[in-house]
Amino acid sequence: MFTPKQAAGSASRFRRKGLRGSADDLASALKANGPAGMSLLEVGGGVGQIQVALLESGVASTATNVELSTSWEDTARALLDERGLQRRVERIVGDFVDQAQTLQQADAVILHRVVCCYPDWKAMFQPPRPRPAV
């Protein structure tokens, strides 16, 4: 559904204009109400512009991004590298529903525009499935 060209465009807009619209509203709410230095988990964060903005502002100290599409990765890593944030962000390519049990707890979970694109959005809000005994 998403392409490297879309990723490049998203990162370019963020570099020029910063966060816009609902992404800016979401980040502003966390800045106003969240504790400084929180950990973030973003599901479907694309190139990670919300994470970058919150890390740079000091609201977040670390972030984990779980992204289903591989198309965002090269651009996201370049954005993190140019801003010196690569050591503070873990990027995981995979299905959040499948990965949920393996993820560390976070102070804030961001689901910005992901529910509309995920094929089984209700599963994202279910308790993690137990892992089979080995």
Residue 128 lies in a domain: no
Q: What angle do CA 14, 51, 6 make, to 5 degrees?
A: 45
Q: Helix, strand, or coil here: 108?
A: strand
> How many Å apart are CA 133 and CA 128, to the nearest integer?
15
pLDDT, tens only, 84-131: 999 999 999 999 888 888 999 999 999 998 767 777 777 777 766 555
Question: Is-contact 82 59, C-beta < 8 A?
Answer: no
Pull the structure tokens for residue 74: 């090269």
Report the 10 Å Cβ neighbour count for 28. Answer: 14
pLDDT, tens only, 34-90: 889 999 999 999 999 999 999 999 999 999 999 999 999 999 999 999 999 999 999
Report the CATH number at residue 43. 3.40.50.150
pLDDT at 13: 97
Q: How many domains does the chain have?
A: 1
Which residue in this structure is represented by tokens 């525009």?
113
Give the structural domain span for 78: 4-117
